Amino acid sequence: MWSIIGHSPVLAALGRALQSESPAHAWLFAGPEGMGKRTAALEFAAALNCTSTDKPCGACRACRDTLTLQHPDVELVVPGGICDEAEHRDHADSRDLRICQVRRLERVISLSPYAGGRRIAIIDDADSLRAEAANAFLKTLEEPPDGTVIILLAEREERLPETVLSRCQRLAFRPLDRDTVIEALTVRGAEPRQAEVIAAAAGGRIGWALQALEDPELLSERESMIDDALRLAHAGRAERFAWAKGAESRVPDVRERYQRELGVWESWWRDVLQAGAGATEGLVNRDRATLLAEEGRLYTADEIVNFLRKLLETREYLLANVDPQLALENLTLDLPTAGGSARPSTVRAR
Ligand SMILES: [Zn+2]
Ligand SMILES: [Zn+2]
């Protein structure tokens, strides 16, 4: 039994692979964060070695060891993870998948499996494979040792070289519809109103929705990120820079925090754009629909589209080694400005 909610085309494809004598040996699970890609990969890995007829059963040794990441033949590779080089101790901060990790993986999968079944490698954040590491990996991806299955997980598959993409069987993880998310939350004990609010904020990301049900902090963090987006559009430069200064802190996950915040801003400004065009359906932040409609009247579409582009750019900078505070300061300079003085008020009267 899969525990994955929704994603029926994905499950159908995986089901077919499990029935086949020789399933594809390289897979790409593509889609935004919080969509269940990693869960799907682990369950697929479990199913590939599951000894029961209803795969993955979740109960046999292979299933249990895989799902708890204790299976000797299941290798999870993440940015900053281990390699074979004794002098490479200090990789924990690395945001890339490095060539030394690829070399280690190649060594590991060249050994015969301990448990005698299939050997599975799951490469998380595969879009952070640097070009040289990706190149080093091509041959393995093309022709892995017998019985090996490699699963790449990527949020932004367009960052992967075509040579990698073309060697993988691709499965797309798309946002789930709201009713499916609400139902999943309700089944897990959410109150109707709570399910509505979480589902609205989740924007189809089921993993995020379930996490938010467990951890109310997630929802309040998101609320405060939207408050930032709203406040800063109405604020002067000093206040905007004060916000960006938060990125100066040496908290280890500061880049991820702002990455998340900019993701939330993206959903907010897309909504403002839509609401400004008179849309009421399909808003992610529909719990703030009235406010969105008001905000939508304050900015031009061009201004918002331009800002959305800057948001994407800045998220790329946060992934690279650009000083986060500087990147965020620059971003705030392009924030749409409520009732900006340079614009005639007739611009929106279309
Ligand atoms: Zn099993
Ligand atoms: Zn290394």
249 within a domain of the structure (yes/no):
yes
Each residue's pLDDT tens digit, 294-323: 999 999 999 999 999 999 999 988 877 788
Same domain for 165 and 268, yes or no, is: no
Residue 190 lies in a domain: no
Residues 69 and 135 in one domain: yes
Higher pLDDT, 2 or 88: 2
pLDDT at res. 345: 37
The per-residue pLDDT for range 237-275, each reduced to its tens digit, is 999 999 998 888 766 678 888 888 998 999 899 999 999
Closest ligand to residue 133's CA = 2
So what's the pLDDT on residue 349?
36
Burial class (CB in 10 A: 0-12, 13-18, 19+), 305: middle
Instruction: Answer whether residue 144 is part of any domain.
Output: yes
Ligand having the closest approach to the CA of 98:
2
Label residue 347 by pLDDT band (50, 70, 90): very low
Please, are residues 96 and 128 in contact by the beta-carbon 8 Å criterion? yes
Residue 124 Cα to ligand 1 midpoint, Å, equals 23
CA 85 / ligand 2 centre spacing (Å): 5
Cβ atoms of residues 264 and 225 within 8 Å? yes
Mean pLDDT of 195-214: 89
Paired with 74 in beta bridges are 120
Helix, strand, coil: what percent of the chain each, to 5?
55, 10, 35
Residue 90 confidence (pLDDT) above 80: no
Name the closest ligand to CA 63.
Answer: 1
Q: Which of 114, 137, 172 marks a domain boundary?
A: 172
Q: Do 154 and 278 sit in the same domain of this protein?
A: no
Distance 38 CA to ligand 1 centre (A): 18
Both 261 and 133 in one domain: the answer is no
Q: What is the pLDDT of residue 344?
A: 37
Which pLDDT score, from 0 to 100, does residue 29 have?
A: 97
How many CB atoms within 10 Å of residue 17? 18
| End position of a domain, from candidates 115, 140, 172 | 172
Total count of domains within the chain: 2
pLDDT at position 276 is 92
Q: Identify whether residues 343 and 244 lie together within a single domain.
A: yes
Mean per-residue pLDDT, 13-22: 92
Q: Are residues 154 and 250 in the same domain?
A: no
CATH number at 13 reads 3.40.50.300
Looking at mean pLDDT, say which of 63-67, 94-98, 133-137 comes out highest.
63-67
pLDDT band for 340, please (50, 70, 90 cuts).
low
Average pLDDT, the chain: 89
Q: Minimum-distance ligand to the CA of 55?
A: 1
Q: How confident is the model at residue 152 (pLDDT cuts 50, 70, 90)?
A: very high
Residues 144 and 90 in one domain: yes
- 165 and 20 fall within a common domain: yes
Q: Tell me the residue range of the domain where 341 lies.
A: 215-348
Q: Which ligand is nearest to the CA of 88?
A: 2
Q: Are residues 247 and 343 in the same domain?
A: yes
Residue 287 lies in a domain: yes
Same domain, 282 and 150: no
Q: What is the mean pLDDT of the segment spanning 48-57?
A: 94
pLDDT band at 62 (very low <50, low <70, confident <90, very high): very high
CA of residue 318 to ligand 2 center, whole Å: 22
Neighbours of ion ligand 2 (CB under 5 A): 83, 85, 88, 100
pLDDT value at residue 229: 93
Mean pLDDT for the stretch of residues 129-147: 90
Q: Residue 164 phi/psi, 5° resolution?
A: -80, -50
Ligand 2: centre distance to CA 247 (Å): 28
Whether 154 and 254 share a structural domain: no
Instruction: Check whether residue 165 and residue 19 sit in a common domain.
Output: yes
With respect to residue 182, please indicate whether it lies within any of the assigned structural domains.
Answer: no
Burial label, 89 (beta-carbon count in 10 A; 0-12, 13-18, 19+): exposed
